[in-house]
Amino acid sequence: MKQTIPIPPGCIAIIDPEDKIVIIEEKKFVPKRGDILYSLSYGIEFIFIHQELVAKLSYKYFACCRIKNKDLDIHGILFTEGNPRPATPEEQQTLFDALAKDGKRWNPDTLRLEDIEKDVLLPEHIHIYKIEINSILDYGDLLHIGFNDDKQLLGFNDGNFDVNINRYSLSSFFKKVQCKLTPCKREDLKPGDTAVCLSVKKEIHNIDLCNICKVLDHEKVVCLNVRGDIITCPWPTEDCNWYKVIPPLKD
């Protein structure tokens, strides 16, 4: 006669051949580095990212969040009441939300906390126009720098700079866009890119029109001086930070 014995979730069945009985035991959960766990500590519910076990019921964590008030702590030790269990997706989200509020995120591939990089927008007093035309010509990143009260647009055209007059007849070809700045190295920039070169002593929100340029080649850039004149010059050699001007993904 066969008998079916249900095994509860999280348990294992062990057969004792001598007594011919089935012993059901709870499967022991052993957390791995980077597992996101739920536990009680002094009657308070916590979600934490497991780093290592330092003593019995003492867990070192990458980040720990109190469920009730979303208080977040980075790198510490939690003393638990009993063995932690894997956190549910909802409980994990509580921790992720607390990390995001603190400007951080968890990378499960590298097992590290990372800073969330916020987009840095080009200041509104710097006007950038994007050319919207199908052409065999190489316009680089398609971006043009507005100057002279936006009556003129400085751009790139097949290895040289060009200047377009921003008049009504061309308004259908050029669209004013809000761009963002992405930190980069000088060697990351290629001909046709739009870039910002900013002294390390200058704050990014203090960008002037003379700080922005079009890359012509690996030796020269074209930009505007403080008087608004167009100048072609070698790459700046002073100690500065470079930013690539990125057009919007969606206009």
For residues 220 and 32, give the distance between their C-alpha atoms in angstroms, rounded to a whole number. 53
Q: Is the pLDDT of residue 183 over 80?
A: yes
Output the CA–CA distances (angstroms, integers) from residue 83 to 40, 60, 61, 66, 94, in the order listed.
9, 14, 15, 17, 20
Residue 144 belongs to a domain = yes
- Say yes or no: 210 and 132 in one domain: yes
Q: Is the per-residue pLDDT at 39 higher than 70? A: yes
The parent domain of residue 68 ranges over: 36-115
- Give a yes or no: residue 152 inside a domain: yes
Shared domain for 73 and 175, answered yes or no, is: no
For residues 55 and 89, membership in a common domain is answered with yes
85, part of any domain: yes
129 lies in the same domain as 238: yes
Query: What pLDDT band is residue 137 in, cutting at 50, 70 and 90?
Result: confident
Same structural domain, 60 and 127: no
Residue range 99-114: mean pLDDT, rounded: 88
6, pLDDT greater than 70: no
pLDDT at 239 over 80: no
Highest mean pLDDT among 15-24, 92-101, 234-243: 92-101
Q: What distance in Å separates the CA atoms of residue 222 and residue 162, rounded to the nearest whole number?
A: 10
Q: Which of 115, 143, 177 is the last residue of a domain?
A: 115
Q: Which amino acid is at 25?
A: E
Same domain, 131 and 228: yes
pLDDT digit string, tens, across residues 186-207: 888 999 999 999 887 777 778 8
Instruction: Give me the half-sphere count of Cα atoms (radius 13 Å) on the Cβ side of residue 48.
Output: 31
Is pLDDT at 130 greater than 70 in this prediction? yes
The average pLDDT across 231-243 equals 85
Query: Residue 25: its pLDDT value, please?
Result: 55
Q: Where are the alpha helices (DSSP H) in 23-129?
A: 89-101
* Domain's final residue, options 73, 92, 115: 115
- Whether 6 is covered by a domain: the verdict is no
Residues 42 and 99 in one domain: yes
DSSP, collapsed to helix, strand or coil, labels residue 200 as coil
Tokens representing 196? Answer: 């910002």
The mean pLDDT value of the chain amounts to 85
- Judge if 69 and 179 occupy the same domain: no
Does residue 175 lie in a domain region? yes
Domain boundary among 62, 97, 115: 115
- Same domain, residue pair 149 and 67: no
Q: Note the pLDDT of residue 80.
A: 92
Do 151 and 238 reside in the same domain of the chain? yes
pLDDT given at position 196: 94
Residue 42's region, left for phi above 0, alpha for psi from -120 to 50, else beta, is: left
Number of domains observed in the structure of the chain: 2
Q: What is the pLDDT of residue 222?
A: 95
Is residue 180 situated within a structural domain?
A: yes
For residue 14, being part of any structural domain is answered with: no
Residues 77 and 183 in one domain: no
pLDDT average, residue stretch 97-115? 88
Annotate 166-190 with b (16+ C-beta within 10 A) or e (fewer). Answer: beeeeeeebeebebbbeebeeeebe
Distance between CA 87 and CA 69 in Å, rounded? 17
| Residue 215 zone, left/alpha/beta (φ > 0; ψ -120 to 50; rest) | beta
Dist. CA 197–CA 243, nearest whole Å: 7
**Tokens linked to 218:** 């690996």
Q: 164: exposed, middle or buried (C-beta count within 10 Å: 0-12, 13-18, 19+)? A: middle
Domain membership of residue 72 (yes or no) is yes
pTM strictly above 0.85: no
For residues 125 and 109, state if they share a domain: no
